[in-house]
Structure 1
Amino acid sequence: MLGRLAGVAGLALLLLAAALSARVPGVDLPFGGLTKLWRTHHLLGAGSLLLLLIHPLLLAFAASAWGQGLAFDTLFPPLADRATWAGWLALLLMMTFLAPSFAFFGAPNYERWKRVHALAGPAVILALIHTFLFSRTMPGPTDTIIWSLFALLGVGAVGWRLVFSRRIGRLPYTITRVDAVADGIAELSLRPEKTHLAYSAGNFVYLTPLDPGLAAGHREEHPYTLSSSPLEPELRIAIKALGDASRAIQTIPVGTPVTVEGPYGRFFPTDARVTTPELWVAGGVGITPFLARMRHLRALGERGDIHLVYGVQDESRTVYGEELRQLAAEIPGCALTFHYYFQEGPVTAAFLATACPDLARRDVYICGPLALNQLIRDHVRKAGVSADRIHSEEFELL
């Protein structure tokens, strides 16, 4: 009984994880954004793998009561037993595509990880074949109905991700400008060729360049935060040279066609206005969502009780420094404080308390390196800000 329950629960989690991987724009919002949805996806995948690993072992353990030979035959039946071997092949594929996701194996290469994850589709199909051939998890037609619904959900999600999203989920754009806004950071301006993307300040998209002459990144999709106001006729995206693809895109030619998929994320509330006191903390290129919202607030003529703390290595590496000062001066109720790590070291609790004495009454938004996110979380929690009022954005294998 435990062996069968482990198999049923493991397959159900696998199919739910597959459904969440579809990355349909808007589906991530109930989870609080794509990053949080991805964490749920990872937990479901890990739970599924563990349950499906113990599933055959428990069945073999039960069979051992009638002898070791029956236990061995339960695990490794004759080749004609297609149902069992379909299950084993599905499990081997799962171990192959899930292994790189575990920290034990170190940080994976993003593109290689994505290619290996394509094995999820065959694994789901083989697991369903295994279940349908046995068809004994539940009595009567209930078995077929429930697993058919799960199958439709999982296979439909995989089909959307691998086939349909490439055809109808991506909008064509053309690069009209490439501005070097800082050392190693370029802001691309994109003109829509058909439909203009509808989005909110703080959203991000997947950008796919279609220039075969790029040194790296041709037809590779990567997530980038939009730096433009939703009221602008073009999209703007700030990209830092962190890898081969983002480094190559720094000098991408004007006129290059690209595709944009999204929007994703829910960093800020959907309401464009600032209705509560807020503290924004940015590190490096993590200023991008805050810049987008400031541009939007100015375009709307809105005010807000906002204090932005922007941490960079030194003044020469400040991204959008002059524009940020101008925006802060033009948005009523907006204050701006710079923190330079080279001169002042890491952001301390004392620095935050001096820069923003009333931070305990503010909702806190953080975007930057993971170390900065954790540091600011620790500081503001100790200052009295509850966990539900702290919001952060991280891109972890998105």
Structure 2
Amino acid sequence: MIWASRGRRCGTRVMACGPRRMRLLFFDFTINFGGGPQGSLYLCRRLNVDHEVHVVDAYGTCREYCEAVRAAGLPLHILYPKAQDTYIGAKDKPVKRFLRAATQIPDFLRIRHRLIRTVVDIRPDAIWVNNEKSLAFLVSSRALRRVPTAMYVRGWATPDQVSPFLCWLMKKYLAAIIAHARASIEQLKKRGIPESKLFYTPNTICVEEVVRRATTTPAVCEPQDPRVKLLLPAARFQPAKGQDTAVRALRRLEDQGVDAVLWLPGKIGTGEDPGFRQEVLHLADDLGVRERVRLLGWQDNMPALMQACDVVVLPTHTEGFPRSILEAMLLKKPVCATPVGGIPEAIQHGSTGYLFEIGDAEGLAEAVRQVVTDPEATRALCRRAYELFQEHHRPEQHTQAIVRMFEHICPSAPRKPS
């Protein structure tokens, strides 16, 4: 049966959740400080208030991530900082992917050895990971398999995201699987993952931090620009984020008499093809809207951009439950998004936002037009979205649910002194 965020199993039995002081370890291969690593770090910070949390990173090459971990006061253990090649990639080219992985075998062996030594030294009550690669390293050693392990599935968990190998690892080795979208839970159930391992926990954000950062003025754009400002809050340029759809919608908005500008933050991620970014720029040139498209580069203060914009657009092809949706709801900014993953759990069409289909530039343009032409309805929509956030996505609710999950998979952890 699925464990819900209120600590109930099918609404009948409440999990025992007396206070325990646990030692927890988060292990990852972090090469880009996007939404997933940011969410993981925020979870580490919250858990570290009442428990002991250690962060283990394979390479330590993502400067933004390592600086954020240290700034949070969390112990950071870097396993092999001398690694030269930290990215495999080529998911659609299995032979190339295999050859790249083969060249990294010596590094992988060093990482595995140091991971075992680190885990033995820390002696955690439980470990959690975010991806297949990290999980594969953990199950490669009998010593590591003795520690209860959970996996946080932050994506939609569709078959293209959960390989047959990962599905097998989940069934055989994981003590728990956390997902912050019901859509992800349903996908995992279809793959035969036992319901007893599935924990649904709605996503969250740091309310105080988002509000504080939203009060600053972004230096990379013109908040006083009289045009309608559209923000696509993606950390990276890639086809799945739908930047091309947003550019096409910009052309349609201009044809309809809506004077708009599109803000595109984000960078080309490690190991990713830079060609898509150029495709987006060529598309903007071809459609005659290049002057209306602003490339902002990597941004570490998305709330400030969000506060300065008029509409948040997410023409994404796949998501779990994006943090940017919650930031917009908290800041009372209207959202126009695709109905993928957990997005429809927060954005109810016409009530808390507007939905349009993947690749539907005309649908996105129409959603934006409704936002800007009916300000009274937009204010009511934003208010309902804010109330939904307050009811279901508060950080304390998320933390309590995660703690209950860890207490369930490591019941022998010592209790905190009263």
TM-score normalised to the size of structure 2?
A: 0.28
Structure ranking higher in helix proportion? 1
- Between the two structures, name the one with larger relative contact order (CA 8 Å, sep ≥ 6): 2
**Rg larger for:** 1
Structure ranking higher in strand proportion? 1
